[in-house]
Amino acid sequence: MKSLQLILSNLKYFAPSWVFSSVNILIGTWILYLPHIKMKFELNDSQIGLALFFTACGLLISIPFVPYINNKIGTGRSTQVGILFLALFFNLPLIAPNYYLLCSSLLFTGIFSGFTGTSMNALVSIIEKRDQQNFMSAAHGFFSLGGFIGAGIGSFLIVQFSNPSYHMLLMSSFIIISTLVLSPSYKNIVELEEDKSSESTNIFKNVKPVLGLSIIAFIIMFNEGAVEHWSNLFLFDIVRVSESQAGFGFVIFSLTMTIGRFLGDGVSKKIGSIKAISFGLIIAAIAYSLILVSNFYTSILGFGVLGLGISVIIPEVFRLAGKTKHMNTSVAISVVSGIGFTGFLVGPVLLGLISHWSNLMMSYVFLLLLIATAFVLVVFRLSRKYSHR
């Protein structure tokens, strides 16, 4: 809990952590209205998945340019600009008059999602190295907290708005105002001189040293994105709950993930990153077994256990990436977070396609298989390379 205390007691750590919350407040609010979008345009799961695919495309477009832009205008300024534009563009999907404009708006949302997600992780990495402070896990706890705020408070606000776009406008305005107030604390932060190199802006040349970590990040964030976008539809379509109850799975998932990440730095210090990741994956596998029972209370419990299980994995992956030998810290973080965030946006797309070809139950079986794959990778590859860290 020391990292949480650090964040809450000092604005220079709270401000960048709030960016993590801001991103997921926007996403958490948006996912509440996926059932609305589905009914509004009379879409099947495959068409929803295709629309979300444009978000992933936007992210893929942005990733190669992020390190270059960070070097040009500074990582802090990139983070500020990214979250401001993301808040603006998140209003577009809910006011799109047709399916084609929905897809177009999600493309631009994806561009700034990827830009912001990569920049904010690089920013925290720079601050950690500059100040010799450790708060990456807690910063990701704020990401989960943002999802809890967006979906949790949003579940109560949803009945207050006759038009979903008003709800999103309220939340995006809140993010813009809070960003303008807090961003002076980090907007002038730039890449550390010792981390700059002639290859620092080319992420494609820097994948191999962190390939294993990148695959783990992709799988876990694939799961996070899938649960964030499809947990409400799983409860709505498979468990047969009401639309007002469909958001409970993601709310409890976000809550337990937040708690786990706030405790994660202490857990890592006691047992090490590899053991923390391994135990987290085992807990996640048990969680999916509970979710697949398809009983309301058991599935809700499963989503809660899942949030706790995967809560520490991404922060620990980034921590290991930052310690990779012969590779600049911020570049390693950018590569791993960029590939990981791709999984976050590709996950909902692929789940939609699997659901269309088979059913949503099989989509969640696929998520369980991915968790098993990640565990095998940790045991047979990462444990030997990073066991001493």
Digit-coded pLDDT (tens) for 8-60: 999 999 999 999 999 999 988 988 888 889 889 998 877 887 888 898 788 87
79/122 Cα distance (integer angstroms): 9
Selection from 225, 251, 233 nearest residue 314 by Cα: 225
pLDDT in tens, 166-213: 999 999 999 999 999 999 999 999 876 655 554 445 555 667 778 899
Torsion, Cα of 119, 155, 181, 4 (10° steps)? -70
Average pLDDT over residues 315-331: 76
User: CB–CB of 23/146 below 8 Å?
Assistant: yes
Which residues are CB-contacts of 246 (< 8 A; sequence separation ≥ 6)?
A: 35, 232, 233, 235, 236
Average pLDDT over residues 305-319: 91
3-state secondary structure of 162: coil
Determine the pLDDT at residue 206.
61
What one-character DSSP code corresponds to residue 158?
G
Q: Which residue has the higher pLDDT, 25 or 238?
A: 25
The tokens describing 90, both together, are 């998140």
CATH of the domain at 9: 1.20.1250.20
Selection from 312, 275, 308, 305 nearest residue 288 by Cα: 305
149/231 Cα distance (integer angstroms): 16
Determine the pLDDT at residue 201.
52
Least confident stretch, 1-5, 24-28, 218-222:
1-5
Structural domain boundaries, residue 352: 2-192+200-386
Determine the pLDDT at residue 328.
66
3-state secondary structure of 91: coil
Average pLDDT over residues 260-281: 88
Average pLDDT over residues 234-239: 85
The tokens describing 58, both together, are 């936007």
pLDDT band at 326 (very low <50, low <70, confident <90, very high): low
Which of 2-6, 205-209, 287-291 has the largest mean confidence?
A: 287-291
Number of domains in the chain: 1
pLDDT in tens, 81-118: 999 999 999 999 999 999 999 999 999 999 999 889 88
Question: Which residue is it, tokens 């960003």?
Answer: 179
Least confident stretch, 88-102, 211-225, 352-366:
352-366
Q: Is the dihedral of CA 313, 262, 275, 291 positive or negative?
A: negative
pTM of structure: 0.79
Determine the pLDDT at residue 198.
43
Determine the pLDDT at residue 299.
92
pLDDT in tens, 274-287: 999 999 999 999 99
Mean pLDDT of the chain: 86
